[in-house]
């Protein structure tokens, strides 16, 4: 398969209108592991309807366009794509329920050369359907392995956030449930790689892996807890690179370094001592 640069760059997307409920907000939070400690009063606010708040990373599943790179008009072999980077900018705290809308667009396709890959940058701004007020802007980088050499942009990808060489100032360990992927997929990502052992083995994994965006949500929870005392009004942005998959049931430790503005962070699976999210940055505080 080959990418047609102009066709993919100018691809038209239908507007997605998405109504979500308090139950959806709580289900998302449970999917990323919030509530594992029933005595954590701050976390309870994201899984209990009495005073419900939405996690900032819930934006990742709002007005989601689906796995559109699987469509034949993209020229992409979907089995060769990896979610490489994610950036979420919050313009205001997300309401715990409501109706939102967004239209996805392809911003750029960077050609890494023949025999190499391509970086496909796409974005969407989620807005309140009634007022038109922007809630969050999401930018995603997807790597299409082996798709280079099609004549796309030769621009350099943005420089990643450097991780300081000094010891982290803060660390937060959070567990994931063995059934975490089966819960998280109910928020809209039904890729069988995260549920079907046979599909996972075909993909080279010993068992189903956790969604990258679920790991991203665990990191968001750690930052919200450690840097914002669960105050969603202090959480403005989170971006990072995905470096390795997580298996449901593993423990994720988020190491945090304070910067002049915001923080840098990195996530590591404790059981395998493996970095799974790297080059993280969050505008918090």
Cα angle, residue 54 at apex, residues 52 and 55 outer, rounded to 5°: 130
Is position 40 annotated as part of the catalytic site? no
Catalytic residue among 189, 211, 221, 236: 189
128, 149, 189, 279 from 158: Cα distances, Å: 29, 20, 27, 12
CB of 149 closer than 8 Å to CB of 165: no
Is position 221 annotated as part of the catalytic site? no
Catalytic residue among 45, 85, 111, 194: 194
- What per-residue string of b and e applies to 150-186 under the rule 16 or more CB within 10 Å gives b? bebeeeeeeeebebeeeebebebebebbeebbebbbe
| Alpha carbon distance 87, 140 (integer Å) | 6
| Alpha carbon distance 140, 84 (integer Å) | 8
Query: Which residues are catalytic, by number?
Result: 189, 194
């Amino acid at each position: 398969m080959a990418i047609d640069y102009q066709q993919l760059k100018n691809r038209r997307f239908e507007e997605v209108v998405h109504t979500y409920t308090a139950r959806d907000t709580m289900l998302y939070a449970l999917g990323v592991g919030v509530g594992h400690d029933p005595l954590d009063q701050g976390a309870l606010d994201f899984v209990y309807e009495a005073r419900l708040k939405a996690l900032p990373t819930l934006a990742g599943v709002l007005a989601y366009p689906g796995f559109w790179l699987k469509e034949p008009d993209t020229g992409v072999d979907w089995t060769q794509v990896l979610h490489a980077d994610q950036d979420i900018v919050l313009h205001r705290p997300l309401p715990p329920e409501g109706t939102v809308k967004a239209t996805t667009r392809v911003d750029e396709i960077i050609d890494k050369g023949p025999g190499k890959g391509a970086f496909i940058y796409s974005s969407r701004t989620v807005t309140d359907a009634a007022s038109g007020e922007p809630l969050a802007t999401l930018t995603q980088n997807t790597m299409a392995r082996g798709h280079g050499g099609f004549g796309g942009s030769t621009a350099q990808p943005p420089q990643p956030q450097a991780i300081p060489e000094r010891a982290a100032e803060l660390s937060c360990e959070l567990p994931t449930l063995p059934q975490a992927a089966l819960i998280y997929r109910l928020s809209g990502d039904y890729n069988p790689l995260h549920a079907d052992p046979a599909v996972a083995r075909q993909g080279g994994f010993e068992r189903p892996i956790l969604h990258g965006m679920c790991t991203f949500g665990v990191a968001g929870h750690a930052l919200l807890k450690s840097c914002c005392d669960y105050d969603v009004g202090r959480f403005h942005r989170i971006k990072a690179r995905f470096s390795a998959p997580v298996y449901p049931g593993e423990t994720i430790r988020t190491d945090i370094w304070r910067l002049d503005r915001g923080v840098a962070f990195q996530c590591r699976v404790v059981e395998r001592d493996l970095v799974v999210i790297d080059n993280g940055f969050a505008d918090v505080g």
